[in-house]
Structure 1
């Protein structure tokens, strides 16, 4: 149930102060609204560090466009050693999402290890897309020092991560797999996806894929700028790929010749959705949104297995395989392209085996959010089209800070379950010219993103170091660190080099990382941040503020998105401070220093707050217990 916001209509006087380098300030800090948690059992705060595993330990600085693994280098599981994990843990991280772990299609030759070559006509980049899975029962040979023992090396990384108090998340890509999918390392008795399909039927409930009967697959009509490997020659690169009949492409294209902008390197998995859009599996009862995972699991166990598409049990068994290896949860790629009933089936089974597993889904349709949480039993969804897009627009000056509150209110009833982030593998780097051009400009947004709700915070590797993603790696283009190519990450390389030699990190990196460390640690440890949220009515041009409260603990958070210092002289509303409170001034020190390590302080005198916020800064003040008419 969603509670309506309780609007407070108290008005206070406004006094503005100006100076040589100060903008005009403010409306009074009266309480605007009270937002109570709509879901009683909010999850524990989590901070997730997403590592693109292939790139993390790569110290080569060649970065040749379309470079081979020998030319540009590649990181290994072993590079994420105890020192690296201790450093990640110290940043204030609870979970590590190892991205690109599963064996995916690639142009690199590992045939000496019994691994067949992938066809470069249906591979993006040289290293390949991590979301074109080739074998769900093994990990990528690029990541192992000994590819023959690649699975054992990943198991060792899981164990190391656990030893440092870090939980491990990996991807499951339910909607599609590589065109050349072939699970040659599956456990005994497990057949590869599609092995028993009747490919003369466009659709059958127990086919794992969809087909285009009577038509052979043709590679896209590549233009000069779209040629595989940038037009370089390579074994097997001949403009053909043997697939007869053709399968539907991962993004749903039913053509035997997908377009260049289709996900042509993948094929779509069939979960029992007929081509006309109707479903071929049992429906959940009307009240299933109120069920817990135990009841969801019982519902599916009562069904005749023949009534369920065969792909369901196969994907369930894949998840069980990785849980048995010690994985603590999954990030589901493009979850909204798979029926919500399947998620009920899968996630209830995962929670039966591992109740504390973290289940995170990529969903972009706000109208479906609550279905995937309440029916699909996801723990967390991407808050991309709401909070991320809004914060990016505020950083870039395209929207005012009032839009942040609106983005939150749209999901207030499910806010603890909406993952917050400013970077991930799909998005532009903050420091890229296409986004902000300067990592400092995003720090107020990072504070809001981390402290506004109990939702998890995601940090993409090297985000905390100011990486700008400017390398032209080949298939992947600048502004986003390429996930398709062999490439180095310069900011991370500089930081790792300093850690190895014992030298001080470059100043631009050290200060930024220290700020992230303060912020993430604060977000995990402050009791007030587990409680209620109250938004403050502040000017929409540069300032956003709120209070988080749990019992007597209250934190006042102010984030200034502007490029100039901001002087505040504000009369606090009666909900924050009694009019006759104290005649002596009180100095409040921010729990968060600025990026240069300087403390931000405010004076509180007779209910009036005075402070000066530097550009792109935030302050987090603990309000004394005795301040306020009531607790």
Structure 2
């Protein structure tokens, strides 16, 4: 396969203003491809709360920015970086960098170095809940039973040890106390936090557990944030539900596309590409109202290389990610075929949130072919920015073979997947040239064109008039 490297970022710098696109998101998101990092894990920080020693986490991430640029990323999506009790999602101070990761100066340096390289910065905002040590909830100095700001939380009516009132928690996690989103003071507080870090140079927010927050809360907060920062990208973590309706009612630019994530690995494992084709049809429907954040791995799920039963299907998953509509995100380590299984227990996320070495030279040699595959496919996407809003149309479908046309703005490509351990001839009407992958074209440029794929093969093809 011919090796392609991604082109440089678009001419406009991350700090330059841009108007909203027809989808409602900022124009720059059309070119966004995120490298997603969980900072506390990346830096090897202790996430139990027992060891609070500094790790220089933000500075260590900054040392990997050139690696992200070579990968083809145009943005750095950070997991939680604010002061927390343990793993980052039990925040205790949204205005302070977690001391394990650094301080304000380290944040400013990371933003400056990223922007110089054309990389945007996406922050992770945990605004559904806070940690029990948050000043608004922690026990009063005078030993009172209620939190200092009881109206910020949702009482359950029960009492705990010592008669202290109990308050609602996030999905049963006692350390995560749910905020009372009906309180205008909470909306003011979240607005202030989001605006503060956008003022400091961030380019957008991933809103954690956005599905658990009432839609009208976001509808109050987000317009206020956008008045100060109209170019900010605001995407919500949504696992299930009516994605378009959630976007409409909240005012978010996008939500996370868990439906497609599940369909990709499940269809590959089961050799059931009908499942993938069905999910792509659903995905096209979402694109009618917003552009989802797409991914094949993140900090909350088992690594793709561990999830797939056939390692050669990893390429198929990445081909789909890079050739369908969406704003793609690559989770750190996936580009090196890292393995790791998420478990439902205390510490069960650690395997999918590992430390990175001090530099690329310390990475294992067997991961680099996968990194180069990511470069090739991300490079293809960067050369075809219309893929951001592309719709797909299946042209040939069996359990183990799928040919789909991906198109937008008068442009189109053909994607051919073969999951079988034997060669396959797949119809590829009007295909005239190989863009990526491996295939022999029979009768190229005609309606009868065939793509002859090797076992476990894939190809991206362009029409003869491309």
Deviations 1:267-298 (A, max 9, x none): 110012xxxxxxxxxxxxxxxxxxxxxxxxxx
Q: Tell me how far apart the structure 1 counterparts of residues 385 and 456 of structure 2 sit (CA, whole Å).
A: 26
Indicate the residue corresponding to 1:623 in structure 2: 463
CA contact (8 A) 2:339 2:352 kept: no
Tell me the distance in 2 between the aligned counterparts of 1:532 and 1:97.
23
Query: Is 2:105 aligned against 1:152?
Result: yes
Q: Report what 1:603 is aligned to.
A: 442
- Equivalent residue of 2:196, what SS? helix
CA distance in structure 2 between the partners assigned to 1:98 and 1:151 by the alignment: 15
Q: 2:181 aligns with which of 263, 266, 271?
A: 271
Contact 2:84 2:91 in 1 (8 A): yes
Local SS of the residue matching 1:93: coil
Aligned length: 435
Deviation at 1:475, TM superposition (A): 3.3
Instruction: Answer 1 or 2: which has greater strand percent.
Output: 2
Q: Aligned equivalents of 1:418 and 1:552: distance in 2?
A: 21
**How many Å apart are 1:620 and its aligned residue?**
0.9
* CA deviation string 1:338-378 (max 9, x = no partner): 111111111111221122211111112323x2232122111
Q: CA deviation at 1:443?
A: 1.7
Change (3 A) 1:195 1:346: farther
Task: Tell me which of 234, 242, 248 is aligned to 2:168.
Answer: 248
Question: Within 5 Å, which residues of 2 pair with 1:406-445?
Answer: 406-415=278-287, 416-432=290-306, 435-437=307-309, 439-445=311-317
Matched, 1:330 2:205: yes
What do the CA deviations read for 1:513-565 (whole angstroms, capped 9, x no partner)? 00011111211221552565341232331122222334564311112233x13
Aligned counterpart for 1:568 among listed residues 425, 430, 433: 425
Q: Does 1:98 align with 2:104?
A: no
Post-superposition CA distance 1:318-343 (Å, at most 9, x none): 11111111111111111121111111
Task: Tell me, yes or no, if the aligned pair for 1:250 and 1:269 is still in contact at 8 Å.
Answer: no
1:117-132 equivalence runs, <5 A: 128-132=86-90
Say whether the 8 Å CA contact 1:330–1:358 is kept in structure 2: yes
The structure with the greater share of residues assigned to helix is: 2
What is the aligned partner in structure 1 of residue 414 from structure 2?
556
Once the two structures are TM-superposed, the CA of residue 193 in structure 1 deviates from its matched residue by 6.5
Does residue 1:136 correspond to 2:94, yes or no? yes
Task: Report whether the alignment pairs 1:356 with 2:300.
Answer: no
In structure 2, the partner of 1:448 is 320
The Cα of 1:158 is off from its aligned counterpart by 1.4
Unaligned runs of at least 5 residues, structure 2: 1-21
- Segments of 5+ residues of structure 1 without an aligned counterpart are 1-38, 106-127, 145-149, 183-191, 218-241, 252-261, 273-307, 578-585, 594-598, 627-631
For residues 114-158 of structure 1, what are the alpha-carbon distances to aligned partners after superposition, in whole Å with 9 as ceiling and x for unaligned? xxxxxxxxxxxxxx22211111111111112xxxxx122122111
What is the rounded CA distance, in whole Å, between the counterparts of 1:137 and 1:243 in structure 2? 32
Q: What's the counterpart of residue 378 of structure 1?
A: 252
Which residue, out of 319, 334, 339, partners 1:468? 339
Give TM-score, length-normalised by structure 2. Answer: 0.83
CA distance in 2 between counterparts of 1:194 and 1:342 reads 24
Deviation at 1:166, TM superposition (A): 0.8
More relative contact order, 1 or 2 (CA 8 Å, 6+ apart): 1
**Structure 1 position 569, deviation (Å):** 5.5
Q: How does 1:183-222 map to 2 (within 5 A)?
A: 192=136, 207-212=151-156, 215-217=159-161
Distance of aligned partners of 1:402 and 1:437 in 2 relative to their CA distance in 1, 3 Å threshold: closer
2:450 alignment partner, SS class: strand
Cα distance in 2, alignment partners of residues 498 and 317 from structure 1: 38
1:567 offset after TM fit, Å?
Answer: 2.3
Once residues 428 and 335 of structure 1 are traced to their aligned partners in structure 2, the CA distance between those partners, rounded to angstroms, is 21
User: Highest Rg: 1 or 2?
Assistant: 1
Change (3 A) 1:418 1:531: closer
Write the distance in 2 (CA, Å) between the matches of 1:569 and 1:447: 17
- The whole-number CA distance in structure 1 between the counterparts of 2:283 and 2:236 is 16
* Matching of residues 514-525 of structure 1 within 5 Å: 514-525=372-383
Equivalent residues of 1:54, 1:75 under 8 A apart:
no
Question: How far 1:507 sits from its partner (Å)?
Answer: 4.5
2: CA distance, partners of 1:243 / 1:444:
56
Matching residue of 1:47: 33
1:164 paired with 2:125, answer: no
2:351 matched to which residue of 1?
Answer: 481
1:341 and 2:203 matched? no
Superposition RMSD in Å: 3.4
Asked if structure 1 preserves the Cα contact closer than 8 Å seen for 2:132 and 2:138, the reply is: no
